[in-house]
Structure 1
Amino acid sequence: MSKRILVVGGTSGVGLATARRLAAAGNTVHVASRDTTKLTDAPELEAHQADGNDAAAVARLAAGLAPLDTLVVTLSGAEGAGAFAELDLASLRRAFEGKFWPTLTVLQAVLPHLAERASITLVGAISAHAAMPGTAGIGSLNAAVESLVRPLAVELAPRRINAVSPGLVDTPWWNGLAEPDRTAWFASAAKVLPVGRVSTADEIADAVVLAATNPSMTGSILHIDGGARFAHF
């Protein structure tokens, strides 16, 4: 049976790959983002402009789509990393404003418009679990996102909520690096990752779809990290 799905932050990377997979399965997939121009080559998706920090706008959108069977939140930020002694706390605050607070805002705004047995899937990052130098700040951000899962699995039941915790993924998140630096970093990381390679957005999207669609999964965090938790960078 076709589902009504809302993906927030689904215009690139893991979010876009997830939206396309869900649409290919015959679902009606709506994507909300501040910038929908990136979706001009994705006619199978319904694009909506909305800022995750704007509760009223998100609630209006969700109300117009209700009842929603599936909510996927794939917000991300590019700040908050760096050695702790020199960590720019203003940058880390901006990172929380870009990912954690809008995640909470979206969840609260959409909740009244979810079907009784709807699913919610969040995307964190393996920095919440790994012991990688330079990730204390961004790791705390992703830990905050993922910490929502277990209590809400009980509080929101019979709705389901899960999270996917990706490792190093080749997505536009890395576009801030010059191409030679990005290539070199991926090559060096691949040497220490147990799987010997950097993940793709499609591979992470497979896990997001599993969490969103498996009716027996709730309160779970899927680590799709290529073994990054066990590597020494």
Structure 2
Amino acid sequence: MSTVLVVGATQGTGRALAAEYARRGADVLITGRTRERATTVAEELAKETGGTVTGLALDLSRPAEIEAALASVRHVDRVALVGMVRDMNTARAYDVATATTLATTKIVGYTAVVTTLYPRMSADASVLLFGGMAKDFPYPGSTTLTAVNAAVQGLVRTLSVELAPVRVNSLHPWAIVDSPFVVDNEQLQDGARKMTLTGRLATMADIVDGCLFLLENPMANGIDLTLNGGIA
């Protein structure tokens, strides 16, 4: 039985990915910022899927605490880093505190998880980092997010080299129509849909399918996969 850790799995794509692995019979570990939230969602997923799901408390924005938070994880085969924080932060009105939290979460936090767990990874382990399309399509308020999502690509480059033969990839989704962050925002959906060549937005099931390819295909390594339906 494989062991899968999904960091940031209490909602959205992370939750959907954890559920799919639980259905497939993996021993799934999920994290949330609080133990109560992580445990509650783990129990929900176990009931929904009939699988084994355990909740752990882990805050990516506090990287000095990550080693202790993951002390109970003795072995891992797949690591998906989905967790992030939302930040609308313009260059003209720059909030240093929120920008620092976002940058710490997705650069230092992601890296700290991977380096902490590397000695406990199997020989055919794989790691997936989550970025986003703000790296290519900035918008007002995305200053830090655009920079950080571009930095995820740099992490893929260096981690895939340093951790070889462990595989490291990243996934960069466009707006996800049934994501809790998008589902009630028709204006955002319409604008994002009009930019695509396919005329549709991804579902979480579409994104999970991409995650599984990057995590499971033994030849997928050093890839930054964009799932956006094509942008004109």
Shorter-normalised TM range: 0.7 to 0.9
Q: For residue 218 of structure 1, what is the amino acid of its counterpart?
A: N
Question: 1:25 and 1:114, CA in 2 relative to 1: closer, same or farther beyond 3 A?
Answer: same
Match of 2:21 in 1: 22
Match of 2:82 in 1: 74
Question: 1:218 and 1:6, CA in 2 relative to 1: closer, same or farther beyond 3 A?
Answer: same
- Gap regions ≥5 residues in structure 1: none
Question: 1:81 and 1:56, CA in 2 relative to 1: closer, same or farther beyond 3 A?
Answer: closer
* 1:126 CA drift (Å): 1.4
Count of residues in Structure 1 that have an aligned counterpart in Structure 2: 221
Aligned identity (percent) is 26
Moved more, 89-98 or 10-19: 89-98
**Matching residue within 218, 221, 230 for 1:218:** 221
Contact 1:62/1:113 (8 A) holds in 2:
no
d(CA) in 1 for partners of 2:155, 2:200: 30
Match of 2:190 in 1: 187
Match of 1:160 in 2: 167
d(CA) in 2 for partners of 1:197, 1:51: 34
* 1:62 CA drift (Å): 4.1
d(CA) in 2 for partners of 1:18, 1:81: 29
Question: 1:61 and 1:112, CA in 2 relative to 1: closer, same or farther beyond 3 A?
Answer: farther
* 1:81 CA drift (Å): 4.6
Match of 1:113 in 2: 120
d(CA) in 1 for partners of 2:202, 2:89: 20
Match of 1:133 in 2: 139
TM-score (norm 1): 0.84
Contact 1:21/1:209 (8 A) holds in 2:
no
Contact 2:61/2:102 (8 A) holds in 1:
no
What are the within-5 Å matches in structure 2 for residues 26-175 of structure 1?
Answer: 26-34=25-33, 35-36=37-38, 37-43=40-46, 44=51, 45-54=53-62, 58-60=66-68, 62-82=70-90, 84-128=91-135, 130-134=136-140, 135-170=142-177, 171-174=179-182
* 1:16 CA drift (Å): 0.8
Larger relative contact order (CA 8 Å, sep ≥ 6): 1
Describe the SS at the equivalent of 1:169: coil
